[in-house]
């Protein structure tokens, strides 16, 4: 096996996605296929439901899905789970989303917060026209898509004389069926913290059945201090949530009360109170979970983990 393919295979085994899966017949007919620099991109349609999937292998999870007749409807659990960040920052004015996919998260945020400035960073330029043509995504003067690696984008912002300060950051950058490792490390999260505004919140979409979940949580705790975990009841998705200030997180009762207020104000198509109740406020990583760093490949971390078990 060529060296490049071996490295890619190690990454995929280290970062399995276990969100909503479906057989191709459930997605409808294939209406678009594109081989990009980073992925093979498939778009399926069944009636008004359009589905986005990356990768050639069967069983790869759905990346994005929309109901064209009900655009406010969340077809996948993780997109509504992302809104848990509003429980910490209910009036975002400047947002950063790493990863476009079908554009559901930034599109929904734009609908509910029309005055907000939203930057979306997507590494694959082939995704943008697909999101616009098939998934009802649209950019505008204050919702901008930047074609760049998410970490490179943040590094460039930090070099500016006045780096932008985002009060709502969503980390949702998946490449096929794995999270790029350089977007999970202590060094990267420190850079994220550098563009997080006072009173801001960062939400990371991860998977709690992932073998590296405890390490991801340990890394968040190392960089941000307090961290809340929201675990989906319908998929393997989990949201790691931290604030800019190294202060105690809000009490569960206060978060649920805020969810009630936001639900009444915005009339979300999903129930934000139900999302709030997915919180696991006392969840902590296993004692042998190490912080992820740039100089340690995931395969080395997993080998160390196995040695610790033995």
Tell me which residues are annotated as active site: 172
Residue 98 dihedral angles phi and psi, to the nearest 5°: -95, 115
**What strands, in cross-sheet order, belong to the sheet with 143-147?**
143-147, 117-122, 94-98, 166-171, 196-207, 237-243, 228-231
User: Helices (DSSP H) in 96-225: which residue ranges?
Assistant: 104-112, 127-134, 150-159, 186-194, 213-224
Place of tokens 């705790």: 221
How many CB atoms sit inside 10 A of residue 28's CB?
Answer: 15
Distance CA 96, CA 82 (A): 13
Q: What is the DSSP letter of 37?
A: S
Calculate helix-pair angle for 298-309, 3-14, nearest 10 degrees: 50
* CB contact burial 195-231 (16+ within 10 A = b; e otherwise): bbbeebbbbbbbbbebbbbbbbbbbbbbbbebbbbbe
Nearest alpha carbon to residue 220 among 199, 206, 235: 206
Distance CA 141, CA 174 (A): 26
Residue 306 dihedral angles phi and psi, to the nearest 5°: -65, -35
Distance CA 56, CA 59 (A): 9
């Amino acid at each position: 096996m060529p060296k490049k393919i071996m490295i890619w295979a190690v990454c995929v085994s280290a970062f399995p996605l276990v969100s909503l899966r479906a057989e191709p017949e459930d997605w409808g007919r294939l209406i678009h296929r594109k081989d990009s620099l980073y992925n093979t991109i498939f778009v399926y349609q069944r009636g008004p439901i359009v589905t986005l999937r990356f990768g050639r292998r069967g069983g790869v999870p759905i990346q994005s899905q929309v109901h064209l007749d009900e655009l406010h409807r969340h077809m996948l659990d993780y997109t509504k789970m992302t809104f848990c960040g509003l429980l910490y920052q209910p009036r975002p004015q400047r947002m950063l989303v790493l990863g476009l996919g079908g554009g559901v998260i930034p599109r929904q945020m734009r609908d509910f917060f029309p005055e907000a400035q939203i930057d979306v960073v997507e590494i694959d330029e082939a995704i943008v026209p697909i999101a616009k043509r098939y998934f009802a995504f649209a950019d505008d003067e204050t919702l901008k898509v930047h074609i760049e690696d998410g970490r490179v984008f943040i590094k460039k912002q930090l070099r500016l004389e006045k780096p932008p300060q985002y009060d709502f950051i969503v980390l949702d950058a998946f490449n096929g069926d794995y999270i790029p490792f350089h977007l999970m490390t202590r060094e990267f999260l420190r850079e994220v913290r550098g563009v997080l505004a006072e009173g801001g919140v960062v939400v990371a979409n991860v998977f709690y059945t992932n073998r590296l979940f405890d390490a991801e949580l340990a890394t968040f705790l190392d960089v941000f201090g307090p961290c809340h975990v929201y675990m989906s009841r319908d998929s393997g998705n989990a949201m790691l949530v931290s604030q800019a200030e190294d202060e105690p997180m809000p009490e569960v009762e206060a978060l649920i009360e805020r969810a009630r207020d936001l639900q009444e104000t915005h009339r979300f198509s999903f129930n934000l109170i139900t999302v709030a109740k997915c919180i696991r406020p006392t969840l902590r990583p296993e004692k042998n979970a190490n912080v992820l760093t740039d100089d340690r490949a995931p395969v080395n971390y997993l080998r160390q983990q196995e040695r610790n078990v033995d």
